[in-house]
Amino acid sequence: MIAISVILCTIIAFILLTKLYQRWPFPFMMPIVTTTVLTVVILMVFAIPYTTYMTGGQWIQRMLGPAVVALAYPLYNQRALIIKYKYAIVSGTLIAMLTGLITVFFMLQWIDVKQEWLLAALPKSLTTPIGMQVSETIGGIPSLTAVFVMIAGFTGALMGAFVIKYGRIHSAIGRGVAIGSASHGVGLTKLKEYGEQELSMGSLAMTLSAIIGAILCPLFVYLFIH
């Protein structure tokens, strides 16, 4: 009964907040953000343990797999564009990954955080499962990496629209690679508002980031930290 109630409440909240976002399409009103905040508030107010929520929430979580696989459809539709601009997509994703590693490294070095925190933050632009695995490999804290991944995702989803607008990024490839390589799956929820080309480029950049990051992060740590 608890599982069914959790699933229904989460889905209903997401549907209602999606309608609210359609009426007032401000970045901070994105349903993935507002639903998350609302869920956290409800759990805290009613003192509902996270484990209790996940008795039903796990079924929503398990749908992430099929949802990611479904991204193959827009990729297939845009295969000609991907083949045409394959070098730009790969190089853009590589540059984005290197930039992310370097900026995080120097920023956290500057504020003098613990090395475990620094190592946990480096895989922030990878998807959660891969990021946590890479974090464990390089000596970080996997659970903390999951938090950094969430922060990167929500930051990209919220601020990406401002960067695209004021940076005057009109290219579908530029938009997709920028958000997909920095903010993974959460960022894709924003890209789908721009169109199928942006969504396709974003999902491809997300995949490439996971592959490239799994190689670059350990190499970066080996060369500059250990």
> Which residue type, as a one-letter code, is found at position 41?
V
Q: What's the pLDDT at 87?
A: 92
> Which residue type, as a one-letter code, is found at position 200?
S
Q: What's the pLDDT at 48?
A: 80
Measured distance CA(73)–CA(136) in Å, rounded = 33
Q: What's the pLDDT at 102?
A: 92
Measured distance CA(30)–CA(21) in Å, rounded = 6
Q: What's the pLDDT at 120?
A: 92
Q: How does pLDDT run across 164-193, given as a tens digit for each residue?
A: 888 888 888 889 998 988 888 788 888 888
pLDDT by residue for the chain (226 residues), tens digit each? Answer: 666 777 788 888 889 988 888 888 887 788 888 888 888 888 888 888 877 777 776 777 677 667 767 777 777 888 888 889 899 999 999 998 999 899 999 998 898 888 889 999 999 988 888 888 899 899 989 888 988 988 888 888 888 888 888 888 888 888 999 898 888 878 888 888 888 888 888 888 988 888 898 899 999 998 887 6
Where do the DSSP E strands lie in the chain?
A: none
Q: In this structure, how many other beta carbons lie within 10 angstroms of the beta carbon of residue 185?
A: 20
Measured distance CA(207)–CA(68) in Å, rounded = 10
Query: In whole angstroms, what separates CA 127 from the centre of its chain?
Result: 6
